[in-house]
Chain A
Amino acid sequence: MSVEVNFEKCMHCGACVGACPENALFLNDVALEVNENCIECGLCVKGCPVQALSLGGA
Chain B
Amino acid sequence: MDIQDDKVINCDVLVVGGGPIGSTAARFAAKNGVDDVLVIEKRQEIGSPVRCAEGISLTWLDEVEIEESDHFIKKKVKGSKLYSPNGNKMTIGKELAGDEVGGVLERDIFDKEMAVLAGREGVNFMLKTAATDVIKENGKVTGVKAKKMGEEFEIHADLVIGADGFESQVGRWAGLYEQIPSKDIMTCFQYRMVDIDIEPDYTHFYLGKVAPGGYVWIFPKGDDKANVGLGVQLNQLDGNKSPKDYLDEFIDSHEGLKKGQAVDMVAGGVSVGHPLDSVTMDGLMMVGDAARVVDPLTGGGIANGMKQAKIAGEVAAEAVEKGKVDEDFFSRYEERWRDRLEDKIWRNYMAKEKAVELSDEEFDKIIDALSEVDLTELTTEAILKAVQKKYPELVESFKDML
Interface flags, B147-180, vs A, CB<8A=1, else 0: 1000000000000000001111100110000111
Q: Are A50 and B242 in contact (CB under 8 A)?
A: yes
In the complex, what's the smallest C-beta–C-beta distance from A28 to chain B, in angstroms? Answer: 5
Closest to A27 in B: B167
Residue contact A49 to B189, C-beta cutoff 8 Å: yes
Query: Which of A14, A28, A46 is the one whose CB lies under 8 Å from B147?
Result: A28
Q: Contact at A19–B185, with CB atoms within 8 Å?
A: yes
Q: Which residues, 114 to 138 on B, are CB-close (under 8 Å) to A?
A: 128, 130, 132
Question: Quick check: is B203 within 8 A (CB to CB) of the other chain?
Answer: no
Taking CB atoms, residues of chain B closer than 8 Å to A34 are none
Known A23-B179, A28-B147; contact A14-B242, beta-carbon cutoff 8 A: no
Docked CA distance A26–B185 (Å) = 18
Whether A19 contacts B180 in the complex (CB less than 8 A), given A13-B267, A13-B269, A14-B167, comes out as: yes
Tell whether B394 is near chain A: CB-to-CB under 8 Å.
Answer: no
**Which 7 pairs across A and B sit closest by C-beta, in order of nearness?**
A15-B269, A17-B167, A14-B167, A49-B267, A13-B267, A21-B179, A11-B267
Can you offer 10 A-B residue contacts whose CB atoms are under 8 A?
A13-B267, A15-B268, A19-B187, A22-B179, A26-B132, A47-B269, A49-B187, A49-B269, A50-B243, A50-B267
Give complex CA distance A14, B290 in Å.
Answer: 13
Between A23, A27, A46, A47, the greatest number of chain B beta carbons within 10 A of the residue's beta carbon is seen for: A47
B148, chain A: closest CB distance, angstroms? 11
Given A23, A43, A50, which contacts B182 in the complex, CB threshold below 8 Å? A43
B187 in contact with A48 (CB, 8 Å)? yes
Nearest-neighbor residue (CB-CB) of A30 within chain B: B43
- Interface residues as binary, A4-20 with B (CB distance below 8 Å gives 1, 0 otherwise): 00000001011111111
**Which residues on the A side are within 8 Å of B51 (C-beta)?**
13-14
Q: Given that A13-B267, A15-B268 are contacting pairs, would A23 and B169 also be in contact in the complex, using a CB cutoff of 8 Å?
A: yes
Give bound CA distance, A50 to B178, whole Å.
25
Complex: how many Å from CA A26 to CA B145? 14
Q: Given that A15-B187, A19-B234, A47-B185 are known contacts, is A26 also in contact with B267, CB under 8 Å in the complex?
A: no
What is the size, in residues, of chain B's interface with A at 8 Å between Cβ atoms?
35
Cβ distance A30 to chain B, nearest Cβ, rounded Å: 9
Using a CB–CB cutoff of 8 Å, the interface residues on chain A facing chain B are 11, 13-23, 26-29, 43, 46-51
Complex: chain A residue closest to B51, CB-CB: A13
* Cβ contacts under 8 Å, A29 to chain B: 42-44, 128, 130
Taking A16-B269, A19-B179, A20-B179 as given, write out 4 further A-B residue pairs in contact, using a Cβ cutoff of 8 Å, ordered by the A residue number. A17-B167, A28-B42, A29-B128, A47-B187
Answer whether A23 and B173 are a contact pair too, CB < 8 Å, given A11-B265, A18-B168, A43-B234. Answer: yes
Nearest to B245 among chain A residues (CB) is A51
Contacts of B187 in A (CB 8 A): 15, 19, 46-49
B242 and A51 within 8 A (CB): yes
Establish whether residues B269 and A14, one from each chain, have CB atoms under 8 Å apart when the complex forms: yes
Q: Which residues of A contact B243 (CB under 8 A)?
A: 49-50
By beta carbon, the residue of chain A nearest B241 is: A51
B244 interface residue per 8 A CB criterion? yes
Residues of A within 8 A of B269 (CB): 13-16, 18-19, 47, 49
Whether the pair A18, B44 counts as a contact (CB closer than 8 A) is no
Q: Contact partner of B166 among A18, A26, A28, A50, CB < 8 A?
A: A18
Q: Measured between alpha carbons, how far is A51 from B187 in the docked complex, in Å?
A: 11
B348 close to A (CB within 8 Å): no
B237 adjacent to chain A (CB < 8 Å): yes
CB neighbours (8 Å) of B267 from chain A are 11, 13, 15, 49-50
Which residues of the other chain, B, contact A19 by a CB distance below 8 angstroms?
179-180, 182, 185, 187, 234, 269
- Alpha-carbon gap, A41 to B383, bound state (A): 39
Measured in the bound complex, the distance between the Cα atoms of B165 and A49 in whole Å is 17
Q: With a CB–CB cut-off of 8 A, which chain A residues contact B130? A: 28-29
- Answer whether residue B311 sits at the interface, using C-beta atoms and an 8 A cutoff: no
B21 smallest CB distance to A (angstroms)? 15
* Cα(A53)–Cα(B345), bound, Å: 32
